[in-house]
Amino acid sequence: MSAPLKVALLGCGVVGSSVARALVDNGDDLAARVGARLELIGIAVRRPDRPRPDVPVDPGLFTSDADTLVRSADVVIEVIGGIDPARELILTAMKHGASVVTANKALLAEDGPTLYAAAAEHGVDLYYEAAVAGAIPIVRPMRESLVGDDVHRVLGIVNGTTNFVLDKMDTTGAGFAETVEQAQALGYAEADPTADVEGFDAAAKAAILASLAFHTRVASDQVHREGITEVSAADVRAAREMDSVVKLLAICELLRDESGTPSGVSVRVHPAMIPRSHPLASVRDAYNAVFVEAAAAGELMFYGPGAGGDPTSSAVLGDVVAVARHRLAGGHGPVESAYADLPVVSMGDAATRYHISLAVADRPGVLAQVAGAFADNGVSIETVRQRVLEDGASRAELVVVTHRAPDAALRATVDALTGLETVDEVVSWMRVEGA
Ligand SMILES: NC(=O)C1=CN([C@@H]2O[C@H](COP(=O)(O)OP(=O)(O)OC[C@H]3O[C@@H](n4cnc5c(N)ncnc54)[C@H](OP(=O)(O)O)[C@@H]3O)[C@@H](O)[C@H]2O)C=CC1
Ligand SMILES: N[C@@H](CC=O)C(=O)O
């Protein structure tokens, strides 16, 4: 057995406390797998004096001086979250020779290239399996296993909190606010749950996935983002009537020009209806799933718990063992380099499909007028269903599902429908995927 490796833990909240417990409880097994003991030399937190009965370590290990702690570690685990001080601490750690394991998707999606460059410069590892989809191994498969293939599409449910909320709204009819509170209590939500429900967290993960999948650089602010706060009970009902469910999807697509050369990427996060027959529709609770379509491999699906302390600690510990093994072998893992610089296309240019539900007058000519709004915007209709409402007022519900068209044309169609004399109301509209 080699000399112990010094491990510094930054953060001891939902994820950090699970990691600390695993380092203590599984110390012998981890030592056997690494070939050296992982010695926890300190835990940096905001409030070092706070009692933490669920973390069975010497209370003297807690400190508020993270900057000093990272300078003497071999491996630094960053589970504080947010941009600063996490970024400075990671950079300081690498400068002093430590390899870093982080779950911080917000930071990686905002400033990943700075961190990757620092890891390369200092010859250390930067591993981040826990940053995307909790316990699911997806970063390593994308970074290593699929690096010899051509990935052209990634479609994922990558936020546990929003999946939990949408699932409960669909299956129990529970309200939005109460399910968000449950997700927070279960440790799924970010410190500020706005990051989850407004889609920022999923957008960060989409940026990381698109960068890995297409060997390019995508930052979180380049990802089109819509959260679930606008998803109404009417949307969930409309989906159910279509034998579909509403999910918050992260969609990453590689675009090619006529010659087949990659010409750009589309990266977006928004709610969408997917048919119940699609595998992503059966992803329940805080589970995540990522569909990958690659030229040679075909379709792959990665599925598992997407949030929570213990599931996330599994991914963190896997990375810790990997980087620890590299240190003992005197090397490091794959370095992020040689990137294309593909443009990220705007949402308006992304090819999507819409489900639109309209309240209309039930009289001759309505369908022609509605169809005209689609035709005027170059949008082709796939199906139309009309149901006369039994309110004695000659009203009807018209449900239209379109073929794929540029999102801008679809939005313009919704605007045009809103202004039609025969349309009382655009009751709901939502994008459709997976069909
Ligand atoms: N929760 C989850 O399911 C998942 C989370 N992640 C990511 O893991 C990271 C941590 O998340 P989570 O554990 O939920 O977050 P928590 O809010 O539960 O924990 C944050 C921890 O960081 C400490 N901390 C905060 N600010 C500082 C600071 N300035 N200096 C030192 N310590 C600080 C806090 O200290 P104190 O305890 O004193 O308040 C706390 O221990 C985030 O990047 C998150 O996105 C990734 C996958 C899943
Ligand atoms: N808040 C996140 C935690 C995991 O990344 C989520 O809900 O998925």
Judge if 280 and 159 occupy the same domain: yes
Helix or strand holding residue 357 (H, E): strand 351-361
Is pLDDT of 390 > 90?
no
Indicate which residue's Cα is closest to atom 17 of ligand 1. Answer: 191
Cis before 53 (ω within 30): no
Which pLDDT does position 124 carry in this prediction? 97
Identify the three-state secondary structure at position 28.
helix
Judge if 144 and 248 occupy the same domain: yes
Is pLDDT of 391 > 70?
no
Ligand nearest to the CA of 205: 2
Tallying the residues shown for the chain, one arrives at 435
The interface pTM score, or ipTM, of the predicted complex is 0.99
Domain-embedded: residue 168: yes
CATH number at residue 181: 3.30.360.10
In this structure, the strands spanning 151-157 and 287-294 are antiparallel
Which pLDDT does position 403 carry in this prediction? 98
Is pLDDT of 417 > 90?
yes
Last residue of a domain, one of 247, 269, 304: 304
Judge if 153 and 297 occupy the same domain: yes
Q: How many CB atoms lie within 10 A of CB 355?
A: 24
Domain-embedded: residue 198: yes
Core vs surface per residue 292-306: b (16+ CB within 10 A) or e = bbbeeeeebebbbbb
Is pLDDT of 327 > 80?
yes
pLDDT interval class at 75 (50, 70, 90) = very high
Identify the three-state secondary structure at position 418.
helix
pLDDT interval class at 394 (50, 70, 90) = confident
pLDDT in tens, 212-253: 999 999 999 999 999 999 998 888 988 999 999 999 999 999
Average pLDDT of the chain to the nearest whole number? 95
**Pocket residues: Cβ below 6 A from ligand 1:** 11-16, 44-47, 50, 66, 79-81, 85, 103-105, 130, 134, 187-188, 190-191, 307-308, 312
CB 429 within 8 A of CB 271: no
Judge if 275 and 189 occupy the same domain: yes
CB 267 within 8 A of CB 287: no
Ligand 2 binding pocket mutation candidate from 18, 190, 285 (most atoms within 8 A of CB): 190
pLDDT interval class at 341 (50, 70, 90) = confident
- Is 13 annotated to bind ligand? yes
Is pLDDT of 339 > 80?
no
Domain-embedded: residue 209: yes
Domain-embedded: residue 34: yes
Count the alpha carbons within 13 Å of 137 in the hemisphere toward its beta carbon.
10
Q: Work out which ligand 2 atom sits closest to the CA atom of 188.
A: 7
The residue range of the domain holding 154 is 139-304
pLDDT in tens, 154-170: 999 999 999 999 999 88
Is pLDDT of 338 > 70?
no
Q: In this structure, which amino acid lies at residue 227?
A: G
Judge if 281 and 426 occupy the same domain: no
pLDDT in tens, 251-291: 999 999 999 999 999 999 999 999 999 999 999 999 999 99
SS3 content of the chain, % helix, strand, coil (to 5): 40, 30, 35
Ligand 2 binding pocket mutation candidate from 102, 161, 283 (most atoms within 8 A of CB): 161
Is pLDDT of 336 > 80?
no
- Per DSSP, what are the bridge partners of residue 361? 395
Domain-embedded: residue 343: no
CATH number at residue 381: 3.30.70.260
Higher pLDDT, 171 or 40: 40
Total structural domains within the chain: 3
Judge if 8 and 111 occupy the same domain: yes
Judge if 90 and 151 occupy the same domain: no
- Is 417 annotated to bind ligand? no
pLDDT interval class at 388 (50, 70, 90) = confident
Judge if 365 and 227 occupy the same domain: no
CB 359 within 8 A of CB 387: no
Domain-embedded: residue 395: yes
- Is 425 annotated to bind ligand? no
How large is the average pLDDT for residues 39-68? 97
Which pLDDT does position 383 carry in this prediction? 96
Judge if 196 and 239 occupy the same domain: yes
Domain-embedded: residue 341: no
Comparing C-alpha atoms, which of 169, 160, 288, 307 is closest to residue 231? 169
Going from the C-alpha of 313 to that of each of 18, 36, 97, 234, 307, the distances in angstroms are 6, 20, 23, 38, 10
pLDDT in tens, 136-194: 999 999 999 999 999 999 999 999 999 999 999 889 888 888 999 999 999 999 889 99
Ligand nearest to the CA of 193: 2
Domain-embedded: residue 83: yes
- Is 14 annotated to bind ligand? yes
pLDDT interval class at 337 (50, 70, 90) = low
Which pLDDT does position 392 carry in this prediction? 64
Identify the three-state secondary structure at position 248.
strand
- How many angstroms separate the first and last alpha carbons of the chain? 54
Indicate which residue's Cα is closest to atom 3 of ligand 2. Answer: 307
Structure-token match 């598992």, residue found: 304
Judge if 100 and 157 occupy the same domain: no
How large is the average pLDDT for residues 20-46? 98
Judge if 416 and 356 occupy the same domain: yes
Which pLDDT does position 271 carry in this prediction? 98
CATH number at residue 82: 3.40.50.720
Which pLDDT does position 174 carry in this prediction? 85
CB 116 within 8 A of CB 336: yes
Judge if 123 and 9 occupy the same domain: yes
